[in-house]
Amino acid sequence: MHDQEALSNLVGKIYDASLNPALWAETLEETKHFVRGMAAAVFCKDPKSKTGGIYYDDGGISPHFKRIYFEKYIKLDPMSAGHYFAKIEEPISTADLIEYDEFVETRFYQEWARPQGVVDFVSASLDKSSTTTSMFGVFRHERDGLVDDATRQRMRLIVPHIRRALLVSRTIEMRTAEAATLATALDGLNAGLFLVDDSARVVHANASARSMLADGTVLRARGGKLVAREARAQQALSEVFAASGQGDAAVGLKGIAVPMSATSGDQYVAHVLPLTGRARRRAGGSHAAAAAMFLHSVSAEAPAPAEAIAKAFSLTPGELRVLLTIVQVSGVAEAAEALGIGEATVKTHLHRLFQKTGAGRQAELVRLVERFSSPLAAV
């Protein structure tokens, strides 16, 4: 099958999975073959607490290795901090976050990756909070080789669509798409749901959406069509609604997350899902809808202390990992053991930390982190 046809079919399945989570395993199975890898997953990580979880996966990583990763090896994963600071939708590989020669010496590689034949991991951030990042990633087996330019290009083709699907599914939190149409199933959703045709005409609005229209501070209906308060948001929505009537490929990257603001200054974000696929048309019921738009308010979160520290002192992911570990354990040997790297590597990172922060001792680094963690630090 031609790559373009394969991509078009895959994108349609990704969007179908946003309304029916039971489809994710099969969809990710196809996704890993498109990118070229042994396993694919949508997951989350908290680099500070060193915890995480899997939203959806294709089963390519065995239950045993998934279990021990979250029980033990997530704490030794040298990429976690780098994953958190990665740009949204930008594909990154192991070598982007740590010298590969250093990576293969870590306990994480020797004890978790190597026994599975895993040699690399390509991932992209889909969404972030002040503490966690949600990601999509594909594990590369030794038969696949290391991540190359072709791998990155394939990731760039599908990551925006996976991000849209995750944001939509997270907004609606549907368990199944079989019991009811999208309109009836989501009438009680807190987020506003608008089913629109390709000219932005509203063919259905749930209770929250009708309340938003009546309020009129974010958007309103004029002649039956949605009109955003801000010109930039209006332009973005008009483009994605028009494209939705032409199929998934025409929509492309438009409307994944459209920021909007109310007259009060409150912030909102809209996620637009095209309803051109068969499963999605069925979910729309009898409504002549080309797209579903979900609109919800967002609250501004303060940057996590780790992010603030990294930006303030231009720390690399490796330096940040050592800094956060030194705060929790005392001594170079203990930090090396906790991180699964050599003592010489820890000493190198410490030397750079002292240079960048102006600290002279480990105790001063601890106080530095405490200062950034204080709720009064930004006052």
- Per the structure block, which two tokens stand in for 145? 């080789």
Over residues 223-257, the pLDDT tens digits come to 999 999 999 999 999 988 888 777 666 666 666 77
Q: Distance (Å, rounded) from C-alpha 44 to C-alpha 343?
A: 29
d(CA 308, CA 373): 9
CB neighbour list of residue 197: distance below 8 Å, 6 or more residues apart: 203, 241, 245, 288, 289, 290
**pLDDT of 286 over the 50 cut:** no
Q: Provide the CB-side half-sphere exposure for 115 (13 A, CA).
A: 11
Note the helical H segments in 41-129: 63-71, 80-85, 100-103, 107
Residue 198's nearest CA partner among 226, 220, 171 is 226
What backbone phi and psi angles, to 5 degrees, belong to 159?
-55, -45
Please name the residue that has the structure tokens 């410490």: 350
**Structure confidence at residue 301 (pLDDT):** 53
Closest CA to 250 of 279, 286, 290: 290
230 to each of 64, 81, 227, 247, 297, how far by Cα in Å? 51, 36, 9, 26, 16
Residue in 157, 88, 85, 80 with CA at minimum distance from that of residue 121: 80
Q: Confirm if 42 and 135 have CB atoms less than 8 A apart.
A: yes
pTM: 0.71
Domains of the chain (ranges, CATH numbers)? 3-172 (3.30.450.80), 182-298 (3.30.450.20), 305-373 (1.10.10.10)
pLDDT at position 302, please? 52
Instruction: Please say whether the beta carbons of 65 and 56 come within 8 A.
Output: no
Decide: helix, strand or coil at residue 72: coil
Average pLDDT, the chain: 83
Q: What is the pLDDT of residues 12-56, one digit of tens each?
A: 888 888 878 889 999 999 999 999 999 999 999 987 778 899 999
pLDDT tens for 155-187 read: 999 998 898 888 887 776 544 444 345 555 566
Token pair recorded at residue 140: 């590369």
Pairing of strands 258-261, 219-222: unpaired
Nearest to 323 by CA among 337, 309, 311, 333: 309
What is the model's pLDDT at position 341? Answer: 82
Q: In the structure encoding, which two tokens stand for residue 359, read together?
A: 């600290």
CB atoms within 10 A of CB 124: 24
**What does the block give as tokens for 248?**
């998934």
Report the helix count and the strand count for the chain, using DSSP H and E.
17, 11
Over residues 266-277, the mean pLDDT reads 82
Bridge partners, residue 258, by sequence: 270
